[in-house]
Amino acid sequence: MVKMNRLKQTFDHVNQFGKTDKGMTRLAYSKEEKRVTDYFIACCRESGLTVTFDPAGNVIARRPGEEPDLPAVGLGSHLDTVYEGGKYDGVVGTLAALEIVRDLNDRKIRTKRPIDIFSFACEESARFGFSQIGSKLMTGLIKKEDIAKLTDKHGETIQTIFARRGLDFDRAEEAKRSPHSLAVFMEMHIEQGPILEAQNKEIGVVTGIAAPTRFSVCVKGHAAHSGSTPMNQRHDALIGAAEIALELERAARQEMAYGTVATVGDIEIEPGAMNVVPGETNLKVDIRSISRSSKNRVVQHLRETIDRLEQARHLKIECTMLSDEEPVRMHAQVIDSFEKACGEQNASYIKMPSGAGHDTMNMASLCPAGMIFVPSIGGISHHPDEHTDLSQIVKGIEILEETVLHWAEFPSDSDDRERKRYEKSSF
Ligand SMILES: [Zn+2]
């Protein structure tokens, strides 16, 4: 039985790290994130796991299997947060994995496969404007040079930040894992949206993960006196930026059938004074969809809008793509095994796409992968009010544990090859 008190105690302990007046701030590779990671490592060791820390800063904690050379069952999530975030995003999945191991220990269950728990580094884009650095390095989806120029908002380079955390940036690519090392990867996460609560379901079995395409858009006009510059002689950078935001909204609303969304969530105005016509604005654009072509249509509309505004408003607009990721489907066998576990445990569930990105989308390039969601009350996330009832988390853990046992005991077809290799090598 999953122990609710033990889970709550660990959960509360984890959320003492980075606690502020306005929610949780445990930025990637920060002091607070190091402290929570150290605590998590201590918990893993206490439960008999062997812990390694890879050159990207990912934690990998292994529970040995009866057949130690078989590809492992991978579980996990992340412990970093956005600025002033909630207590549940990432923490729920990381602690679910730990609780499953604790429960298997209590029940004296030894699995055939090893179980690997991952706490991924830098899942959130809050620090560098670049998400999932740990799992992207682990899966070889990015190279060092793709992130070598990143800085945080204080201008500190990723190299300096890595070094302070005891990591050598030059060795970051050594985090790459062999695709044969995992039989499956599964992550439990809060939904971060309103659907499960609205439909009164306990579990969301994720079918696919929408991928973001992100841009930094710099709109340059002319700063001028707000009193003495007539309306028809202005090159107002903010008005251009506002039109871009409105056009993005319009384009994404036409693509709602594909779950497509577009957001301008960050804008800076130069010089930023009440009596000056804005001379420059910098905005960050985030477009997501589980359909590549739908997302492309919104991107195309963004580019056309920029061309039109440059002419119509005499602005100079630079549009830099920050990232462009492919939507990822979850593995059919993993979806099946989650549905079966929901049936066996009498859990109500729906199949649904994920609008938010997760480490699982990268892990899917390595092995069969899947996710389940537990409800987010009010759909609130990345905010101090983020909440999921403990009983809902426990339900999710029970489903995940059942699925872990399935994968840990019954080798999939692809493993037969691995098994033969293993049997051969032991003769
Ligand atoms: Zn998360």
- Residue 222 in this model has a pLDDT that exceeds 80: yes
CB 372 within 8 A of CB 338: yes
Cβ 212 vs Cβ 221: under 8 Å: no
Confidence grade of residue 409 (pLDDT, cut at 50, 70, 90): confident
Q: Is 62 annotated as a binding residue?
A: no
At 413, the pLDDT band (50, 70, 90 cuts) reads low
pLDDT at 421: 47
Q: Compute the distance from residue 90 Cα to the ligand 1 centre, in Å.
A: 4
282 labeled part of a ligand binding site = no
Q: Answer yes or no: is 358 a known binding residue.
A: no
pLDDT value at position 427? 32
301 is in an annotated binding site: no
Say whether pLDDT at 422 is over 90. Answer: no
- Give the Å distance between the CA of 384 and the centre of ligand 1: 14
Instruction: Identify the pLDDT of residue 411.
Output: 57
Task: Describe the crossing of helices 390-409 and 332-344 by its angle, rounded to 10 degrees.
Answer: 120
* Mean predicted lDDT score pLDDT of the chain: 94
**How far is CA 293 from each of CA 196, 286, 289, 297, 418, rounded to the nearest angstrom?**
27, 16, 9, 6, 37
User: In angstroms, how far is CA 37 from the centroid of its own chain?
Assistant: 17
Q: pLDDT category, 211, cuts 50, 70, 90?
A: confident
| Alpha-carbon gap, residue 389 to 410, rounded angstroms | 32
Determine whether 241 is exposed, middle or buried from the number of CB atoms within 10 Å of its CB (0-12, 13-18, 19+): buried
Position of tokens 């995992």?
182
Decide the pairing of beta strands 115-120 and 72-78: parallel
Q: Is 427 exposed, middle or buried (0-12, 13-18, 19+ CB in 10 A)?
A: exposed
Q: What angle do CA 402, 423, 400 make, to 5 degrees?
A: 10
Distance from Cα 88 to the centre of ligand 1, integer Å: 8
Residue range 180-207: mean pLDDT, rounded: 96
Q: What is the pLDDT of residues 327-381, one digit of tens each?
A: 999 999 999 999 999 999 999 999 998 999 999 999 999 999 999 999 999 999 9
Per residue in 115-163, pLDDT (tens digit) is: 999 999 999 999 999 999 999 999 999 999 999 999 999 999 999 999 9
Per-residue pLDDT at 257: 86
Residue 329 annotated in ligand binding = no
What is the SS3 assignment for 130? coil
